Amino acid sequence: MNVRRATPHDEPSVLALLAHCGLPCAGVRDHLQTFWLAEEPEGVVGTAGLEVYAEVALLRSVATAPSCRNLGIARRLCQEVLAEAGRLGVRQVYLLTETAADYFARRFGFQEVPRAEADPRLQASQELAGACPQTARLMVLALDLIDLRRLIG
Protein backbone atom coordinates (compact mmCIF):
# COMPACT_ATOMS: atom_id res chain seq x y z
CA MET A 1 0.00 0.00 0.00
CA ASN A 2 1.24 3.44 -0.91
CA VAL A 3 0.31 6.42 1.31
CA ARG A 4 0.75 9.85 -0.24
CA ARG A 5 -0.56 13.40 -0.40
CA ALA A 6 -3.45 13.95 -2.81
CA THR A 7 -3.05 15.90 -6.04
CA PRO A 8 -5.73 17.68 -8.12
CA HIS A 9 -5.69 14.63 -10.42
CA ASP A 10 -7.03 12.52 -7.51
CA GLU A 11 -10.26 14.48 -7.01
CA PRO A 12 -12.53 12.07 -8.98
CA SER A 13 -11.19 9.05 -7.06
CA VAL A 14 -11.58 10.79 -3.69
CA LEU A 15 -15.13 11.88 -4.49
CA ALA A 16 -16.06 8.39 -5.69
CA LEU A 17 -14.73 6.76 -2.51
CA LEU A 18 -16.50 9.28 -0.27
CA ALA A 19 -19.79 8.82 -2.14
CA HIS A 20 -19.41 5.02 -1.91
CA CYS A 21 -18.89 5.33 1.87
CA GLY A 22 -21.81 7.74 2.29
CA LEU A 23 -19.66 10.71 3.36
CA PRO A 24 -20.12 14.35 2.29
CA CYS A 25 -18.19 15.56 -0.74
CA ALA A 26 -18.86 19.28 -0.26
CA GLY A 27 -15.66 21.28 0.11
CA VAL A 28 -13.27 18.53 -0.95
CA ARG A 29 -11.94 20.47 -3.93
CA ASP A 30 -11.15 23.48 -1.72
CA HIS A 31 -9.02 21.38 0.67
CA LEU A 32 -7.61 18.62 -1.52
CA GLN A 33 -4.06 19.90 -0.95
CA THR A 34 -4.32 18.71 2.68
CA PHE A 35 -5.75 15.26 1.92
CA TRP A 36 -3.81 12.02 2.22
CA LEU A 37 -4.57 8.88 0.22
CA ALA A 38 -3.91 5.17 0.47
CA GLU A 39 -3.47 3.42 -2.86
CA GLU A 40 -3.43 -0.18 -3.92
CA PRO A 41 -2.87 -1.33 -7.51
CA GLU A 42 -6.63 -1.09 -8.10
CA GLY A 43 -6.68 2.59 -7.09
CA VAL A 44 -7.49 4.79 -4.10
CA VAL A 45 -8.69 2.69 -1.15
CA GLY A 46 -8.50 5.23 1.66
CA THR A 47 -8.62 8.94 2.30
CA ALA A 48 -8.40 11.46 5.14
CA GLY A 49 -8.44 15.22 4.83
CA LEU A 50 -7.78 18.34 6.82
CA GLU A 51 -9.47 21.72 6.57
CA VAL A 52 -7.19 24.30 8.16
CA TYR A 53 -8.51 27.57 9.59
CA ALA A 54 -5.52 29.28 11.24
CA GLU A 55 -4.78 27.37 14.46
CA VAL A 56 -7.83 25.09 14.24
CA ALA A 57 -8.64 22.40 11.72
CA LEU A 58 -11.31 19.89 10.82
CA LEU A 59 -10.33 16.27 10.24
CA ARG A 60 -12.69 15.09 7.54
CA SER A 61 -13.39 12.47 4.92
CA VAL A 62 -11.79 9.55 6.74
CA ALA A 63 -12.89 6.68 4.53
CA THR A 64 -11.66 3.23 3.63
CA ALA A 65 -12.99 1.04 0.85
CA PRO A 66 -15.10 -1.77 2.36
CA SER A 67 -12.77 -4.43 0.94
CA CYS A 68 -9.80 -2.86 2.76
CA ARG A 69 -11.26 -2.21 6.22
CA ASN A 70 -9.65 -3.40 9.45
CA LEU A 71 -6.16 -3.25 7.94
CA GLY A 72 -5.01 -0.09 9.73
CA ILE A 73 -5.44 2.16 6.69
CA ALA A 74 -7.65 4.74 8.43
CA ARG A 75 -5.26 4.89 11.37
CA ARG A 76 -2.26 5.44 9.13
CA LEU A 77 -4.04 8.17 7.17
CA CYS A 78 -5.18 9.91 10.36
CA GLN A 79 -1.60 9.79 11.66
CA GLU A 80 -0.40 11.52 8.49
CA VAL A 81 -3.12 14.17 8.71
CA LEU A 82 -2.51 14.86 12.41
CA ALA A 83 1.23 15.12 11.79
CA GLU A 84 0.48 17.59 8.99
CA ALA A 85 -1.72 19.58 11.38
CA GLY A 86 1.17 19.76 13.83
CA ARG A 87 3.57 20.94 11.12
CA LEU A 88 1.08 23.65 10.14
CA GLY A 89 0.83 24.98 13.69
CA VAL A 90 -2.71 23.74 14.32
CA ARG A 91 -3.56 23.67 18.03
CA GLN A 92 -6.97 21.96 17.91
CA VAL A 93 -8.36 19.41 15.48
CA TYR A 94 -12.11 18.87 15.36
CA LEU A 95 -14.12 16.20 13.57
CA LEU A 96 -17.73 15.26 13.00
CA THR A 97 -18.84 11.64 13.10
CA GLU A 98 -22.03 9.65 13.26
CA THR A 99 -20.46 6.21 13.57
CA ALA A 100 -16.84 6.37 14.72
CA ALA A 101 -16.75 8.39 17.96
CA ASP A 102 -15.41 5.42 19.94
CA TYR A 103 -12.69 4.78 17.35
CA PHE A 104 -11.41 8.38 17.42
CA ALA A 105 -11.58 8.56 21.21
CA ARG A 106 -9.76 5.26 21.71
CA ARG A 107 -7.13 5.57 18.99
CA PHE A 108 -6.31 9.26 19.14
CA GLY A 109 -7.83 10.78 22.28
CA PHE A 110 -10.56 12.90 20.68
CA GLN A 111 -13.23 14.04 23.14
CA GLU A 112 -16.85 14.85 22.39
CA VAL A 113 -17.92 18.47 22.85
CA PRO A 114 -21.22 20.28 22.22
CA ARG A 115 -21.44 21.86 18.78
CA ALA A 116 -21.91 25.23 20.45
CA GLU A 117 -18.32 24.94 21.72
CA ALA A 118 -16.81 24.62 18.23
CA ASP A 119 -14.21 27.25 17.45
CA PRO A 120 -16.02 29.99 15.46
CA ARG A 121 -13.40 29.80 12.69
CA LEU A 122 -14.83 26.41 11.74
CA GLN A 123 -18.03 28.05 10.55
CA ALA A 124 -16.27 28.47 7.19
CA SER A 125 -16.38 24.68 6.77
CA GLN A 126 -19.11 23.31 4.54
CA GLU A 127 -19.18 20.23 6.78
CA LEU A 128 -20.24 22.26 9.82
CA ALA A 129 -22.46 24.53 7.73
CA GLY A 130 -24.71 21.64 6.83
CA ALA A 131 -22.95 19.03 4.69
CA CYS A 132 -22.79 16.79 7.78
CA PRO A 133 -26.10 16.06 9.48
CA GLN A 134 -26.96 17.73 12.79
CA THR A 135 -26.90 14.26 14.37
CA ALA A 136 -23.13 14.01 13.81
CA ARG A 137 -21.14 14.26 17.02
CA LEU A 138 -18.46 16.95 17.31
CA MET A 139 -15.14 15.87 18.78
CA VAL A 140 -11.90 17.75 19.47
CA LEU A 141 -8.24 16.92 20.05
CA ALA A 142 -5.91 19.53 21.54
CA LEU A 143 -2.56 19.06 19.81
CA ASP A 144 -0.71 21.29 22.25
CA LEU A 145 -1.59 18.92 25.11
CA ILE A 146 -0.33 15.70 23.56
CA ASP A 147 2.92 14.23 22.42
CA LEU A 148 2.57 14.09 18.62
CA ARG A 149 5.42 11.62 18.35
CA ARG A 150 3.51 9.15 20.51
CA LEU A 151 0.29 9.79 18.62
CA ILE A 152 1.71 9.29 15.17
CA GLY A 153 4.57 6.95 16.13
Ordered by where they begin, the domains of the chain are: 2-152 (3.40.630.30)
Residues 67 and 62: their CA atoms lie apart, in Å, by 15
pLDDT for 36-82, tens place per residue? 999 999 899 999 999 999 999 999 999 999 999 999 999 999 999 99
Which position has the higher pLDDT, 47 or 136?
A: 47
Q: Which residues are within 8 A (CB) of 22 and not within 5 positions of it... i.e. 6 or more apart?
A: none
Tell me the average pLDDT across 11-23: 95
pTM: 0.90
Residue 27: count other Cβ atoms within 10 Å of its Cβ: 20
